[in-house]
Amino acid sequence: MNLVDVILGDFFWRAMLGGLGIALVAGPLGCFVVWRRMAYFGDTLAHSALLGVALGFLFHLPLNLGIALTCVGLALVLVVLARNRSLATDTLLGILAHSALAIGLVTLSFMPDVRVDLNAYLFGDLLAMTRRDLMWIYGGVVVVLGLLFRLWRGLLMSTIHEELARVEGVPVERLRLTLMLMFSLVIAIAMKIVGVLLITALLIIPAATARRLASSPERMVVLAVVAGLVAVTGGLTLSWEVDSPAGPSIVVTAFALFLLVYALVRRQRL
Amino acid sequence: MTEPLIRLDDVTVTFQGSPAVDRVSLTLCRGDIVTVIGPNGAGKTTLIKAITGLQPISGGTLWRQPDLRIGYVPQRLDLQPTLPLTVKRFMALTGKPQSEYQTALAETGVAHLLDASVHHLSGGELQRLLLARALARQPDLLALDEPAQGVDINGQAALYELIRSLRDRLHCGVIMISHDLHLVMAATDRVICLNQHVCCSGYPEDISRDPAFVDVFGRPVAESLAVYHHQHTHQHNLHGDIIRPATAGQAPADHHPDACAHEPR
Protein backbone atom coordinates (compact mmCIF):
# COMPACT_ATOMS: atom_id res chain seq x y z
CA MET A 1 0.00 0.00 0.00
CA ASN A 2 2.83 2.27 0.89
CA LEU A 3 4.63 1.51 -2.31
CA VAL A 4 1.50 2.21 -4.36
CA ASP A 5 1.16 5.58 -2.69
CA VAL A 6 4.76 6.39 -3.34
CA ILE A 7 4.39 5.55 -7.00
CA LEU A 8 1.06 7.31 -7.47
CA GLY A 9 2.30 10.29 -5.48
CA ASP A 10 5.08 10.92 -7.98
CA PHE A 11 4.05 12.81 -11.13
CA PHE A 12 6.66 11.04 -13.23
CA TRP A 13 5.37 7.58 -12.37
CA ARG A 14 1.77 8.66 -12.85
CA ALA A 15 2.74 9.85 -16.31
CA MET A 16 4.53 6.58 -16.99
CA LEU A 17 1.58 4.45 -15.89
CA GLY A 18 -0.84 6.53 -17.95
CA GLY A 19 1.37 6.35 -21.03
CA LEU A 20 1.80 2.59 -20.72
CA GLY A 21 -1.97 2.17 -20.40
CA ILE A 22 -2.51 4.10 -23.64
CA ALA A 23 0.13 1.98 -25.39
CA LEU A 24 -1.80 -1.16 -24.43
CA VAL A 25 -4.89 -0.09 -26.41
CA ALA A 26 -3.13 1.98 -29.08
CA GLY A 27 -1.34 -1.19 -30.28
CA PRO A 28 -4.37 -3.25 -31.36
CA LEU A 29 -6.45 -0.25 -32.47
CA GLY A 30 -3.47 1.13 -34.38
CA CYS A 31 -3.26 -2.17 -36.27
CA PHE A 32 -6.87 -1.73 -37.38
CA VAL A 33 -6.10 1.84 -38.46
CA VAL A 34 -3.25 0.54 -40.61
CA TRP A 35 -5.13 -2.49 -41.97
CA ARG A 36 -8.27 -0.56 -42.81
CA ARG A 37 -6.48 2.53 -44.11
CA MET A 38 -8.17 4.69 -41.51
CA ALA A 39 -5.25 6.99 -40.73
CA TYR A 40 -7.04 10.07 -41.95
CA PHE A 41 -10.19 8.98 -40.17
CA GLY A 42 -8.30 8.78 -36.88
CA ASP A 43 -6.88 12.21 -37.51
CA THR A 44 -10.35 13.64 -38.09
CA LEU A 45 -11.68 12.18 -34.86
CA ALA A 46 -8.68 13.54 -32.98
CA HIS A 47 -9.12 17.02 -34.42
CA SER A 48 -12.75 17.03 -33.38
CA ALA A 49 -11.65 16.30 -29.82
CA LEU A 50 -10.84 19.97 -29.36
CA LEU A 51 -14.42 20.81 -30.23
CA GLY A 52 -15.32 18.28 -27.53
CA VAL A 53 -13.22 20.20 -25.04
CA ALA A 54 -15.05 23.42 -25.91
CA LEU A 55 -18.46 21.75 -25.66
CA GLY A 56 -17.42 20.20 -22.37
CA PHE A 57 -16.69 23.64 -20.93
CA LEU A 58 -19.86 25.07 -22.43
CA PHE A 59 -22.18 22.46 -20.91
CA HIS A 60 -20.12 21.82 -17.77
CA LEU A 61 -19.51 18.20 -18.68
CA PRO A 62 -16.45 16.25 -17.63
CA LEU A 63 -13.94 16.89 -20.42
CA ASN A 64 -13.40 13.20 -21.19
CA LEU A 65 -17.12 12.76 -21.67
CA GLY A 66 -17.37 15.86 -23.86
CA ILE A 67 -14.58 14.59 -26.06
CA ALA A 68 -15.95 11.06 -26.29
CA LEU A 69 -19.45 12.31 -27.19
CA THR A 70 -18.11 14.66 -29.88
CA CYS A 71 -15.99 11.90 -31.41
CA VAL A 72 -18.94 9.51 -31.46
CA GLY A 73 -21.16 12.18 -33.01
CA LEU A 74 -18.60 12.94 -35.68
CA ALA A 75 -18.07 9.25 -36.42
CA LEU A 76 -21.81 8.81 -36.96
CA VAL A 77 -21.97 11.88 -39.23
CA LEU A 78 -19.09 10.42 -41.23
CA VAL A 79 -20.81 7.08 -41.66
CA VAL A 80 -23.99 8.77 -42.93
CA LEU A 81 -22.20 11.20 -45.24
CA ALA A 82 -19.91 8.52 -46.63
CA ARG A 83 -23.00 6.59 -47.76
CA ASN A 84 -24.10 9.47 -49.97
CA ARG A 85 -20.84 9.41 -51.85
CA SER A 86 -21.30 12.83 -53.37
CA LEU A 87 -17.80 13.66 -52.11
CA ALA A 88 -14.74 11.44 -51.93
CA THR A 89 -14.07 10.18 -48.42
CA ASP A 90 -10.74 11.93 -48.02
CA THR A 91 -12.28 15.26 -49.10
CA LEU A 92 -15.07 14.75 -46.60
CA LEU A 93 -12.59 13.91 -43.84
CA GLY A 94 -10.49 16.95 -44.69
CA ILE A 95 -13.50 19.22 -44.43
CA LEU A 96 -14.72 17.77 -41.16
CA ALA A 97 -11.31 17.49 -39.48
CA HIS A 98 -10.28 21.06 -39.91
CA SER A 99 -13.74 22.54 -39.51
CA ALA A 100 -14.13 20.73 -36.19
CA LEU A 101 -10.72 21.96 -35.05
CA ALA A 102 -11.48 25.53 -36.12
CA ILE A 103 -14.95 25.58 -34.56
CA GLY A 104 -13.40 24.26 -31.35
CA LEU A 105 -10.79 27.03 -31.31
CA VAL A 106 -13.34 29.76 -32.09
CA THR A 107 -15.73 28.48 -29.42
CA LEU A 108 -12.97 28.43 -26.80
CA SER A 109 -12.02 32.01 -27.63
CA PHE A 110 -15.59 33.10 -26.80
CA MET A 111 -15.26 31.78 -23.27
CA PRO A 112 -13.10 34.37 -21.52
CA ASP A 113 -13.66 32.82 -18.08
CA VAL A 114 -12.13 29.59 -19.23
CA ARG A 115 -8.38 29.70 -19.07
CA VAL A 116 -7.35 26.97 -21.42
CA ASP A 117 -3.78 26.01 -22.01
CA LEU A 118 -4.18 25.29 -25.72
CA ASN A 119 -0.72 23.82 -25.92
CA ALA A 120 -1.74 21.11 -23.47
CA TYR A 121 -4.63 20.01 -25.68
CA LEU A 122 -2.74 20.22 -28.95
CA PHE A 123 0.43 18.48 -27.81
CA GLY A 124 -0.53 16.80 -24.57
CA ASP A 125 0.28 17.46 -20.96
CA LEU A 126 1.32 14.09 -19.71
CA LEU A 127 3.14 15.31 -16.64
CA ALA A 128 -0.07 16.86 -15.25
CA MET A 129 -1.70 13.43 -15.06
CA THR A 130 -3.91 12.95 -12.00
CA ARG A 131 -5.05 9.78 -10.24
CA ARG A 132 -8.48 10.43 -11.68
CA ASP A 133 -7.01 10.46 -15.21
CA LEU A 134 -5.35 7.14 -14.47
CA MET A 135 -8.71 5.66 -13.50
CA TRP A 136 -10.20 6.84 -16.79
CA ILE A 137 -7.32 5.38 -18.75
CA TYR A 138 -7.34 1.95 -17.14
CA GLY A 139 -11.13 1.79 -17.24
CA GLY A 140 -10.88 2.46 -20.98
CA VAL A 141 -8.13 -0.13 -21.34
CA VAL A 142 -10.24 -2.84 -19.73
CA VAL A 143 -13.31 -2.03 -21.87
CA VAL A 144 -11.41 -1.80 -25.16
CA LEU A 145 -9.26 -4.89 -24.65
CA GLY A 146 -12.28 -6.88 -23.47
CA LEU A 147 -14.29 -5.90 -26.54
CA LEU A 148 -11.41 -6.62 -28.89
CA PHE A 149 -10.89 -10.05 -27.37
CA ARG A 150 -14.57 -10.96 -27.67
CA LEU A 151 -15.08 -9.63 -31.19
CA TRP A 152 -11.67 -10.51 -32.58
CA ARG A 153 -12.60 -13.09 -35.25
CA GLY A 154 -15.43 -11.01 -36.69
CA LEU A 155 -13.37 -7.82 -36.66
CA LEU A 156 -10.46 -9.51 -38.37
CA MET A 157 -12.63 -11.24 -40.95
CA SER A 158 -14.49 -8.07 -41.88
CA THR A 159 -11.15 -6.27 -42.16
CA ILE A 160 -9.76 -8.89 -44.53
CA HIS A 161 -12.79 -8.97 -46.80
CA GLU A 162 -16.02 -7.27 -45.91
CA GLU A 163 -18.30 -9.07 -48.37
CA LEU A 164 -16.92 -12.49 -47.55
CA ALA A 165 -17.46 -11.74 -43.88
CA ARG A 166 -21.03 -10.62 -44.51
CA VAL A 167 -21.93 -13.77 -46.46
CA GLU A 168 -20.49 -15.78 -43.57
CA GLY A 169 -22.88 -14.04 -41.20
CA VAL A 170 -20.49 -11.60 -39.53
CA PRO A 171 -22.41 -8.47 -38.39
CA VAL A 172 -20.11 -6.17 -40.35
CA GLU A 173 -21.96 -2.89 -39.77
CA ARG A 174 -22.30 -3.40 -36.04
CA LEU A 175 -18.61 -4.24 -35.73
CA ARG A 176 -17.65 -1.14 -37.69
CA LEU A 177 -19.69 0.98 -35.31
CA THR A 178 -18.14 -0.73 -32.29
CA LEU A 179 -14.67 -0.07 -33.67
CA MET A 180 -15.50 3.61 -34.13
CA LEU A 181 -16.79 3.84 -30.57
CA MET A 182 -13.55 2.30 -29.34
CA PHE A 183 -11.57 4.88 -31.31
CA SER A 184 -13.61 7.68 -29.80
CA LEU A 185 -13.01 6.33 -26.32
CA VAL A 186 -9.27 5.95 -26.83
CA ILE A 187 -8.94 9.42 -28.33
CA ALA A 188 -10.81 10.88 -25.38
CA ILE A 189 -8.44 9.28 -22.90
CA ALA A 190 -5.25 9.59 -24.97
CA MET A 191 -5.63 13.28 -25.65
CA LYS A 192 -4.19 14.12 -22.25
CA ILE A 193 -1.06 12.18 -23.11
CA VAL A 194 0.01 13.24 -26.55
CA GLY A 195 -2.58 15.83 -27.54
CA VAL A 196 -4.87 16.23 -30.53
CA LEU A 197 -2.16 16.57 -33.13
CA LEU A 198 -0.10 13.55 -32.16
CA ILE A 199 -2.66 10.87 -31.27
CA THR A 200 -2.71 9.38 -34.75
CA ALA A 201 1.07 9.01 -34.57
CA LEU A 202 0.77 6.91 -31.43
CA LEU A 203 -1.74 4.68 -33.22
CA ILE A 204 0.05 4.29 -36.54
CA ILE A 205 3.78 4.32 -35.87
CA PRO A 206 3.95 1.32 -33.46
CA ALA A 207 1.63 -0.69 -35.75
CA ALA A 208 3.72 0.13 -38.81
CA THR A 209 6.87 -0.83 -36.91
CA ALA A 210 5.29 -4.16 -35.95
CA ARG A 211 4.31 -4.94 -39.55
CA ARG A 212 7.95 -5.38 -40.47
CA LEU A 213 8.40 -8.09 -37.84
CA ALA A 214 5.04 -9.86 -37.79
CA SER A 215 3.92 -12.99 -39.59
CA SER A 216 0.34 -13.08 -38.32
CA PRO A 217 -2.23 -10.45 -37.39
CA GLU A 218 -2.11 -11.44 -33.72
CA ARG A 219 1.66 -11.23 -33.55
CA MET A 220 1.48 -7.81 -35.19
CA VAL A 221 -0.85 -6.62 -32.44
CA VAL A 222 1.46 -7.90 -29.69
CA LEU A 223 4.51 -6.34 -31.33
CA ALA A 224 2.67 -3.04 -31.79
CA VAL A 225 1.89 -3.01 -28.07
CA VAL A 226 5.55 -3.71 -27.30
CA ALA A 227 6.67 -0.93 -29.65
CA GLY A 228 4.20 1.44 -27.97
CA LEU A 229 5.45 0.52 -24.49
CA VAL A 230 9.06 1.10 -25.57
CA ALA A 231 8.13 4.46 -27.11
CA VAL A 232 6.37 5.63 -23.95
CA THR A 233 9.17 4.49 -21.64
CA GLY A 234 11.89 5.89 -23.88
CA GLY A 235 10.06 9.15 -24.57
CA LEU A 236 9.36 9.88 -20.93
CA THR A 237 12.92 9.07 -19.94
CA LEU A 238 14.17 11.38 -22.66
CA SER A 239 11.80 14.06 -21.47
CA TRP A 240 13.08 13.64 -17.90
CA GLU A 241 16.74 13.70 -18.87
CA VAL A 242 16.81 16.59 -21.32
CA ASP A 243 13.63 18.39 -20.23
CA SER A 244 11.88 18.04 -23.59
CA PRO A 245 8.05 18.11 -23.92
CA ALA A 246 6.70 14.68 -22.98
CA GLY A 247 4.15 13.97 -25.76
CA PRO A 248 6.39 14.91 -28.67
CA SER A 249 9.28 13.00 -27.06
CA ILE A 250 7.17 9.83 -27.07
CA VAL A 251 6.35 10.26 -30.76
CA VAL A 252 10.00 10.98 -31.57
CA THR A 253 11.01 7.78 -29.77
CA ALA A 254 8.35 5.79 -31.63
CA PHE A 255 9.64 7.20 -34.91
CA ALA A 256 13.24 6.38 -34.04
CA LEU A 257 12.22 2.81 -33.23
CA PHE A 258 10.38 2.61 -36.55
CA LEU A 259 13.46 3.78 -38.46
CA LEU A 260 15.67 1.38 -36.55
CA VAL A 261 13.47 -1.63 -37.29
CA TYR A 262 13.13 -0.76 -40.97
CA ALA A 263 16.87 -0.22 -41.29
CA LEU A 264 17.90 -3.40 -39.48
CA VAL A 265 15.26 -5.98 -40.28
CA ARG A 266 15.05 -7.42 -43.74
CA ARG A 267 11.67 -7.51 -45.38
CA GLN A 268 9.48 -10.34 -44.12
CA ARG A 269 8.33 -12.99 -46.52
CA LEU A 270 4.90 -12.91 -44.94
CA MET B 1 -35.00 -35.08 -54.81
CA THR B 2 -34.91 -31.72 -56.55
CA GLU B 3 -34.95 -29.60 -53.45
CA PRO B 4 -35.10 -25.89 -54.30
CA LEU B 5 -32.41 -23.78 -52.63
CA ILE B 6 -33.28 -20.36 -53.96
CA ARG B 7 -36.15 -18.98 -55.96
CA LEU B 8 -36.20 -15.59 -57.64
CA ASP B 9 -39.43 -14.06 -58.90
CA ASP B 10 -39.16 -10.92 -61.01
CA VAL B 11 -36.16 -9.80 -59.00
CA THR B 12 -35.13 -6.26 -59.90
CA VAL B 13 -32.17 -4.24 -58.67
CA THR B 14 -31.99 -0.58 -59.67
CA PHE B 15 -29.12 1.82 -59.26
CA GLN B 16 -30.23 5.48 -59.38
CA GLY B 17 -33.38 4.56 -61.25
CA SER B 18 -31.82 2.44 -63.98
CA PRO B 19 -32.17 -1.31 -63.63
CA ALA B 20 -28.98 -3.35 -63.28
CA VAL B 21 -30.99 -6.54 -62.93
CA ASP B 22 -34.41 -6.47 -64.53
CA ARG B 23 -37.20 -8.88 -63.54
CA VAL B 24 -35.10 -12.02 -63.30
CA SER B 25 -36.86 -15.22 -62.34
CA LEU B 26 -34.99 -18.38 -61.65
CA THR B 27 -35.05 -21.44 -59.43
CA LEU B 28 -31.93 -23.24 -58.37
CA CYS B 29 -32.15 -26.70 -56.86
CA ARG B 30 -29.68 -28.83 -54.97
CA GLY B 31 -27.37 -30.46 -57.49
CA ASP B 32 -27.87 -27.83 -60.20
CA ILE B 33 -25.02 -26.00 -61.85
CA VAL B 34 -26.26 -22.76 -63.35
CA THR B 35 -23.88 -20.52 -65.26
CA VAL B 36 -24.62 -16.86 -65.84
CA ILE B 37 -23.07 -15.38 -68.94
CA GLY B 38 -23.47 -12.00 -70.53
CA PRO B 39 -21.56 -8.93 -71.68
CA ASN B 40 -19.86 -6.48 -69.33
CA GLY B 41 -22.32 -4.43 -67.35
CA ALA B 42 -25.06 -7.00 -67.81
CA GLY B 43 -25.69 -7.21 -64.08
CA LYS B 44 -24.12 -10.61 -63.50
CA THR B 45 -22.23 -9.66 -60.36
CA THR B 46 -25.23 -7.72 -59.07
CA LEU B 47 -27.38 -10.81 -59.52
CA ILE B 48 -24.93 -13.00 -57.58
CA LYS B 49 -24.73 -10.39 -54.83
CA ALA B 50 -28.52 -10.26 -54.63
CA ILE B 51 -28.60 -14.05 -54.26
CA THR B 52 -25.99 -14.00 -51.48
CA GLY B 53 -27.82 -11.18 -49.72
CA LEU B 54 -25.02 -8.64 -50.23
CA GLN B 55 -27.15 -6.51 -52.53
CA PRO B 56 -30.63 -5.46 -51.40
CA ILE B 57 -33.21 -5.96 -54.12
CA SER B 58 -35.51 -3.18 -55.30
CA GLY B 59 -38.40 -5.31 -56.51
CA GLY B 60 -39.72 -8.83 -56.85
CA THR B 61 -39.23 -11.61 -54.33
CA LEU B 62 -36.17 -13.60 -53.45
CA TRP B 63 -36.69 -16.74 -51.41
CA ARG B 64 -33.84 -18.64 -49.81
CA GLN B 65 -34.11 -21.96 -48.10
CA PRO B 66 -34.06 -21.26 -44.35
CA ASP B 67 -30.52 -21.48 -42.92
CA LEU B 68 -29.09 -21.78 -46.39
CA ARG B 69 -25.32 -21.89 -46.11
CA ILE B 70 -23.65 -20.08 -48.96
CA GLY B 71 -20.03 -20.46 -50.00
CA TYR B 72 -19.12 -17.27 -51.80
CA VAL B 73 -16.14 -16.61 -54.03
CA PRO B 74 -16.00 -12.87 -54.74
CA GLN B 75 -14.82 -11.44 -58.01
CA ARG B 76 -11.91 -9.62 -56.45
CA LEU B 77 -9.96 -10.23 -53.30
CA ASP B 78 -8.14 -7.02 -52.52
CA LEU B 79 -5.91 -7.90 -49.61
CA GLN B 80 -4.22 -5.18 -47.64
CA PRO B 81 -0.49 -5.86 -47.78
CA THR B 82 -0.26 -4.29 -44.31
CA LEU B 83 -2.11 -7.28 -42.86
CA PRO B 84 0.17 -10.31 -42.48
CA LEU B 85 -1.86 -13.40 -43.30
CA THR B 86 -0.96 -16.98 -44.08
CA VAL B 87 -3.17 -19.43 -45.93
CA LYS B 88 -3.50 -21.40 -42.70
CA ARG B 89 -4.70 -18.40 -40.67
CA PHE B 90 -7.09 -17.37 -43.43
CA MET B 91 -8.63 -20.86 -43.46
CA ALA B 92 -8.76 -20.99 -39.67
CA LEU B 93 -10.95 -17.89 -39.71
CA THR B 94 -13.77 -20.11 -40.96
CA GLY B 95 -13.88 -21.41 -37.41
CA LYS B 96 -13.41 -25.01 -38.61
CA PRO B 97 -10.79 -27.37 -37.16
CA GLN B 98 -7.58 -27.79 -39.13
CA SER B 99 -8.41 -31.35 -40.20
CA GLU B 100 -11.47 -30.04 -42.02
CA TYR B 101 -9.99 -27.06 -43.76
CA GLN B 102 -6.92 -29.06 -44.72
CA THR B 103 -9.19 -31.47 -46.59
CA ALA B 104 -10.78 -28.55 -48.40
CA LEU B 105 -7.36 -27.22 -49.40
CA ALA B 106 -6.33 -30.64 -50.65
CA GLU B 107 -9.50 -30.89 -52.67
CA THR B 108 -8.79 -27.70 -54.58
CA GLY B 109 -5.13 -28.64 -54.93
CA VAL B 110 -3.45 -26.02 -52.76
CA ALA B 111 -2.69 -28.02 -49.60
CA HIS B 112 1.04 -27.45 -50.11
CA LEU B 113 0.55 -23.70 -49.65
CA LEU B 114 -0.60 -23.99 -46.03
CA ASP B 115 2.22 -21.86 -44.62
CA ALA B 116 2.50 -19.45 -47.55
CA SER B 117 1.49 -15.83 -47.26
CA VAL B 118 -1.72 -15.01 -49.10
CA HIS B 119 0.07 -11.98 -50.51
CA HIS B 120 2.43 -14.13 -52.55
CA LEU B 121 -0.11 -16.41 -54.22
CA SER B 122 -0.65 -16.35 -57.97
CA GLY B 123 -4.05 -15.52 -59.39
CA GLY B 124 -4.90 -19.17 -59.88
CA GLU B 125 -3.74 -20.20 -56.41
CA LEU B 126 -5.79 -17.42 -54.89
CA GLN B 127 -8.91 -18.58 -56.72
CA ARG B 128 -8.35 -22.12 -55.48
CA LEU B 129 -7.79 -20.86 -51.96
CA LEU B 130 -11.06 -18.92 -52.10
CA LEU B 131 -12.85 -21.98 -53.39
CA ALA B 132 -11.35 -24.07 -50.59
CA ARG B 133 -12.51 -21.50 -48.08
CA ALA B 134 -16.02 -21.63 -49.49
CA LEU B 135 -15.92 -25.45 -49.36
CA ALA B 136 -14.69 -25.60 -45.78
CA ARG B 137 -17.97 -24.08 -44.68
CA GLN B 138 -19.79 -27.08 -46.19
CA PRO B 139 -22.13 -24.94 -48.24
CA ASP B 140 -25.55 -25.78 -49.59
CA LEU B 141 -24.97 -23.33 -52.38
CA LEU B 142 -21.75 -22.21 -54.03
CA ALA B 143 -21.94 -18.69 -55.48
CA LEU B 144 -18.87 -18.12 -57.64
CA ASP B 145 -18.16 -14.79 -59.30
CA GLU B 146 -15.79 -15.62 -62.16
CA PRO B 147 -14.00 -18.45 -60.37
CA ALA B 148 -11.54 -19.02 -63.21
CA GLN B 149 -10.16 -15.54 -63.66
CA GLY B 150 -6.41 -15.37 -63.53
CA VAL B 151 -6.19 -19.11 -64.13
CA ASP B 152 -4.34 -20.35 -67.21
CA ILE B 153 -6.28 -22.15 -69.90
CA ASN B 154 -5.45 -25.70 -68.78
CA GLY B 155 -6.15 -24.77 -65.21
CA GLN B 156 -9.52 -23.34 -66.20
CA ALA B 157 -10.76 -26.60 -67.66
CA ALA B 158 -9.52 -28.41 -64.57
CA LEU B 159 -11.19 -25.88 -62.30
CA TYR B 160 -14.58 -26.26 -63.95
CA GLU B 161 -14.17 -30.02 -63.79
CA LEU B 162 -13.37 -29.66 -60.09
CA ILE B 163 -16.48 -27.56 -59.50
CA ARG B 164 -18.56 -30.24 -61.17
CA SER B 165 -17.06 -33.03 -59.10
CA LEU B 166 -17.57 -30.99 -55.94
CA ARG B 167 -21.21 -30.59 -56.84
CA ASP B 168 -21.48 -34.36 -57.20
CA ARG B 169 -19.77 -35.07 -53.91
CA LEU B 170 -21.24 -32.33 -51.72
CA HIS B 171 -24.54 -32.41 -53.53
CA CYS B 172 -24.79 -28.64 -53.36
CA GLY B 173 -26.14 -26.16 -55.86
CA VAL B 174 -23.76 -24.01 -57.88
CA ILE B 175 -24.36 -20.65 -59.50
CA MET B 176 -21.40 -19.09 -61.22
CA ILE B 177 -20.49 -16.28 -63.54
CA SER B 178 -18.18 -16.98 -66.39
CA HIS B 179 -16.71 -15.41 -69.48
CA ASP B 180 -15.08 -18.62 -70.71
CA LEU B 181 -17.99 -19.66 -72.84
CA HIS B 182 -16.35 -22.67 -74.40
CA LEU B 183 -15.08 -24.21 -71.22
CA VAL B 184 -18.07 -23.54 -69.10
CA MET B 185 -20.57 -24.90 -71.58
CA ALA B 186 -19.22 -28.38 -71.00
CA ALA B 187 -19.38 -28.15 -67.21
CA THR B 188 -22.80 -26.67 -66.66
CA ASP B 189 -26.36 -27.95 -66.59
CA ARG B 190 -28.06 -24.73 -67.41
CA VAL B 191 -26.97 -21.41 -68.86
CA ILE B 192 -28.58 -18.06 -68.27
CA CYS B 193 -27.69 -15.35 -70.69
CA LEU B 194 -28.14 -12.10 -68.85
CA ASN B 195 -28.35 -8.63 -70.28
CA GLN B 196 -30.10 -6.88 -67.39
CA HIS B 197 -33.04 -9.18 -68.13
CA VAL B 198 -32.74 -12.87 -68.85
CA CYS B 199 -32.45 -12.79 -72.60
CA CYS B 200 -32.45 -16.55 -72.88
CA SER B 201 -31.78 -19.58 -70.78
CA GLY B 202 -31.64 -23.28 -71.22
CA TYR B 203 -29.34 -26.20 -71.82
CA PRO B 204 -25.95 -25.39 -73.23
CA GLU B 205 -26.67 -27.26 -76.47
CA ASP B 206 -29.80 -25.25 -77.17
CA ILE B 207 -28.76 -21.84 -76.04
CA SER B 208 -26.07 -21.22 -78.61
CA ARG B 209 -28.74 -21.52 -81.29
CA ASP B 210 -31.14 -19.18 -79.60
CA PRO B 211 -31.62 -15.98 -81.65
CA ALA B 212 -31.48 -13.90 -78.45
CA PHE B 213 -28.09 -15.37 -77.62
CA VAL B 214 -26.83 -14.65 -81.11
CA ASP B 215 -28.06 -11.08 -80.69
CA VAL B 216 -26.06 -10.53 -77.55
CA PHE B 217 -22.86 -12.32 -78.40
CA GLY B 218 -22.85 -12.02 -82.16
CA ARG B 219 -22.89 -14.74 -84.73
CA PRO B 220 -19.21 -15.78 -84.62
CA VAL B 221 -19.34 -16.57 -80.92
CA ALA B 222 -22.60 -18.45 -81.17
CA GLU B 223 -21.30 -20.42 -84.11
CA SER B 224 -18.06 -21.32 -82.45
CA LEU B 225 -20.02 -22.66 -79.51
CA ALA B 226 -22.24 -24.66 -81.81
CA VAL B 227 -19.17 -26.26 -83.30
CA TYR B 228 -17.88 -27.08 -79.90
CA HIS B 229 -20.99 -28.93 -78.90
CA HIS B 230 -21.30 -30.88 -82.04
CA GLN B 231 -18.01 -32.46 -81.32
CA HIS B 232 -19.96 -34.57 -78.90
CA THR B 233 -22.17 -36.03 -81.60
CA HIS B 234 -19.65 -36.86 -84.26
CA GLN B 235 -15.97 -37.12 -84.91
CA HIS B 236 -13.71 -36.00 -87.70
CA ASN B 237 -11.06 -38.03 -89.40
CA LEU B 238 -7.69 -36.58 -90.27
CA HIS B 239 -9.02 -35.02 -93.47
CA GLY B 240 -11.73 -33.22 -91.60
CA ASP B 241 -14.50 -35.43 -92.95
CA ILE B 242 -17.19 -36.37 -90.50
CA ILE B 243 -17.16 -39.94 -89.29
CA ARG B 244 -20.74 -40.94 -88.79
CA PRO B 245 -21.30 -43.35 -85.96
CA ALA B 246 -23.37 -46.45 -86.56
CA THR B 247 -26.40 -44.71 -85.12
CA ALA B 248 -26.02 -41.78 -87.47
CA GLY B 249 -29.60 -42.11 -88.57
CA GLN B 250 -30.74 -40.79 -85.22
CA ALA B 251 -28.76 -37.62 -85.59
CA PRO B 252 -29.91 -36.23 -88.88
CA ALA B 253 -27.47 -34.02 -90.69
CA ASP B 254 -29.93 -31.15 -90.85
CA HIS B 255 -29.52 -30.65 -87.11
CA HIS B 256 -25.96 -29.75 -87.75
CA PRO B 257 -25.68 -25.97 -87.82
CA ASP B 258 -25.27 -24.87 -91.39
CA ALA B 259 -22.32 -22.68 -90.59
CA CYS B 260 -20.24 -25.41 -88.95
CA ALA B 261 -16.71 -24.76 -90.03
CA HIS B 262 -16.01 -28.41 -90.65
CA GLU B 263 -19.02 -29.02 -92.82
CA PRO B 264 -17.99 -29.60 -96.41
CA ARG B 265 -19.70 -26.92 -98.49
pLDDT at B262: 34
Side by side, the strands of the sheet bearing B33-37 are B70-73, B141-145, B173-177, B33-37, B190-195, B197-202
pLDDT at B170: 87
Model ipTM?
0.82
B159 or A203, which is more confident?
A: A203
Q: Mutate which of B82, B121, B127, B175 to test chain A, going by most A C-beta atoms within 10 A?
A: B82
Burial of A209 (0-12, 13-18, 19+ CB in 10 A): buried
Contact A168 B94 (CB under 8 A): yes
pLDDT band at A58 (very low <50, low <70, confident <90, very high): confident
Q: A42-46, A72-76, A110-114, A265-269: which has the minimum mean pLDDT?
A: A265-269
pLDDT at B237: 52
Give the gap in angstroms from C-alpha B210 to the nearest C-alpha of chain A.
Answer: 35
Annotate A177-202 with b (16+ C-beta within 10 A) or e (fewer). ebbbbbbbbbbbbbbbbbbbbbbbbb
pLDDT at A43: 86
Q: What are the DSSP E strand ranges found in chain B?
A: 4-15, 18-29, 33-37, 59-64, 70-73, 141-145, 173-177, 190-195, 197-202, 235-236, 242-243
Closest residue by Cα to residue A236 from A27, A26, A15, A7: A15
Contact A167 B52 (CB under 8 A): yes
Q: Where are the domains of chain B?
A: 1-69+139-208, 78-137
Q: Point out the residue among B49, B72, B85 whose CB comes nearest to the CB of A217.
A: B85
For B246, residues 6+ apart whose C-beta sits below 8 A from its C-beta are none
Q: Is B228 on the interface with A (CB under 8 A)?
A: no
Annotate A214-223 with b (16+ C-beta within 10 A) or e (fewer). bbebeebbeb
Q: Is B213 on the interface with A (CB under 8 A)?
A: no
- Chain A residues with CB under 8 Å of B70 CB are 167
pLDDT at A159: 93
Name the residue of chain B whose CA is nearest to A166's CA.
Answer: B54
pLDDT at B206: 73
Give the gap in angstroms from C-alpha A162 to the nearest C-alpha of chain B.
Answer: 10
pLDDT band at A250 (very low <50, low <70, confident <90, very high): very high
CATH superfamily of A2-264: ABC transporter involved in vitamin B12 uptake, BtuC (1.10.3470.10)
- Chain A residues with CB under 8 Å of B133 CB are 164
For B19, residues 6+ apart whose C-beta sits below 8 A from its C-beta are B12, B13, B43, B196
Contact B84 A217 (CB under 8 A): yes
pLDDT at B260: 31
Across chain B, which has 265 residues, the per-10-residue mean pLDDT values are 85 88 90 88 90 91 91 86 92 89 89 91 88 91 88 82 88 88 76 84 73 72 56 48 48 35 34
Q: Point out the residue among B78, B93, B117 whose CB comes nearest to the CB of A153.
A: B93
Interface of B with A in 111-140 (CB under 8 A): 117, 119-120, 133, 137
Contact B86 A215 (CB under 8 A): yes
User: Phi and psi of B40, rounded to 5°?
Assistant: -60, 140
Q: Which helix (H) or strand (E) holds B181?
A: helix B181-187
The tally of CA atoms less than 13 A away on the side-chain side of residue A30 is 30
Count, in order, helices (H) and strands (E) of chain A.
12, 0
Contact B84 A37 (CB under 8 A): no
**Residue A206 in contact with residue A27, Cβ under 8 Å?**
yes
B221 or A168, which is more confident?
A: A168
Q: Mutate which of A151, A167, A212 to test chain B, going by most B C-beta atoms within 10 A?
A: A167
- Chain B residues with CB under 8 Å of A270 CB are 84-86, 117, 119
Contact B83 A157 (CB under 8 A): no
CATH topology of domain B1-69+139-208: Rossmann fold (3.40.50)
Q: Mutate which of B93, B96, B131, B138 to test chain A, going by most A C-beta atoms within 10 A?
A: B93
Helix orientation angle between A89-109 and A63-84, rounded to the nearest 10 degrees: 150
Count, in order, helices (H) and strands (E) of chain B.
9, 11
Give the gap in angstroms from C-alpha B148 to the nearest C-alpha of chain A.
Answer: 18
